Structure 1
Amino acid sequence: MKIDLHAHSNVSDGTQPPAQLVAAALAAGVDVMALTDHDSTAGWAAALVAARALGVGLVPGMEISCTTDRGISVHLLCYLHDPTHQGLLAEITKAKEARQSRAERMVLRLAEDYPLSWDDVSAHVAPGATVGRPHIADALVAAGIVSDRNEAFATILTSHSRYFVSHYAPDPVLAVQLVRAAGGVPVFAHPVASSRGRVVDAQVFHDMIDAGLLGVEVDHRDNPPEGRAWLRNLASKNGLLVTGSSDYHGAGKPNLLGENTTRPEVLESILALATGARAYLPHQLQM
């Protein structure tokens, strides 16, 4: 069974609507996929309709953007949480509003030096989607300022750029606690992806574990080999689930659906631990 537990639609920063994403998973030979848009569950319903029609297993999820007290970005995947849980929903709403304001301020700064407007960025944001730097990157590509998203993030949109604006995001320990309270399964996404920027130290991992962290995403293209070995050892010592996934964004990144996968027994554990929402598994994939 080919299981990919990290993929994005255009509800956040992917380039395909949820139904097209499910179809792409089928074409890639993926049996079960998780929809994990940033800070949003708005794509769940459309993805479920497509999954039922195409016979693809679907694990509804989300990727929560967090920041430590030292300003280090942490991404937390959560699977099968209750999307109506008031505590988690309030925190996600607060972060989304901050991201919207941040994007607007970044565009104002960029417009001082580049032919870029808020309308240019909005043209790349699907209705109801969570706006973010990837959408600004897409607008920069469309304007011919950079060649692709990677160039945008390596230059104009880097956190060291004068155009960068920080925004509110929950502490990862709080995010873990809220996901568990919402009946979800929290998994630390690409935890040692140093190519993306600073990564947290061991103490943050243990604080998150104490708060209820249940897994770590080990097999991800941005985790270096030595980091994967360290993560497997951490997981073994602390009874954490080990996942693998693509972090697929459609045309937004080179990542390919199914390039890294999760073992069926790990998915089975996630399904058993979750109490907030249910996955869809076609009859032939029932566990």
Structure 2
Amino acid sequence: MIPGSFSYHRPASVSDAVKLLASLGEDARPLAGGHSLVPMMKLRLAAPTHLVDLHGVAGLRGLRRDGNAIVIGAMTTQHELLASDEIAKALPILHETALLIADPQVRYRGTIGGNVANGDPGNDLPALMMVLGATYRLEGPSGARDVAAAEFYQGAYFTALEPGEILTSVTIPVPPSGHGYAYEKLKRKVGDYATAAAAVVLTMAGGKVASCTIGLTNLHETPLLAAEASQVVIGTALDAAALKQAAAAAQAIMAPAADARGPVEYRKHVGGIMVMRALERAKSRLA
């Protein structure tokens, strides 16, 4: 199908983009990579009368080290994340996860900001951002504010973004050296959303888990932090019993939709398996 008619705007700065979105109101939508918005427009599920293209805003691109954190501009593409030595060294789980997003053609165009900002429960990066303790910089008519990724997602496609605001950058604390990490994703085919996926970052001391954070993708209307599942493995050697307990605790908070990827019980079952696999692989990577 063909989208409805719209006016096209290409601001040159963040302030110009914010002014446009504020003045145009609910009839305007920001355009990043377009992989979510454009298909919805073609299906007439979204019909903005104004598109504000962010590709001309140079300040939204690139990444840099800021002390013990990595700051990534919202318009930085997934391909650029994969090409970054800094990301590979400091945030290897982000490199691993970005490699599992869709396919190379999509990653050349898809942006980190678009992936985390639109509230799609099937996107891979939101749960990972929660696991990593990331913070989002939001800028709008009232100025700039920072919102923790864990507090950003409020429902399917419903986030903490206020009218006229855009997400301009993502700040991610660098995990401690020697940490274990893994992102396990089950999907039907290359390019598909996850049937179920789990992200894990952990540390161990004396053969026992000292810290652990577990995130879940596409197993609820929002990304999830599996806090109880994380707590279950603290102090264990991640033996078979601990893995099963963690999977059960994670499954207890899952509420996936029944869709073409499978019925609810199947998706919860494989969600538990993804948690166990991610924990095992994270442990195997400990330095």
TM-score by length of 2: 0.26
Please identify which structure carries the higher helix content.
Answer: 1
Kindly name which structure, 1 or 2, has the bigger radius of gyration based on alpha carbons: 2
Please identify which structure carries the higher strand content.
Answer: 2
Ranked by relative contact order (alpha carbons within 8 Å, sequence separation 6 or more), the top structure is 1
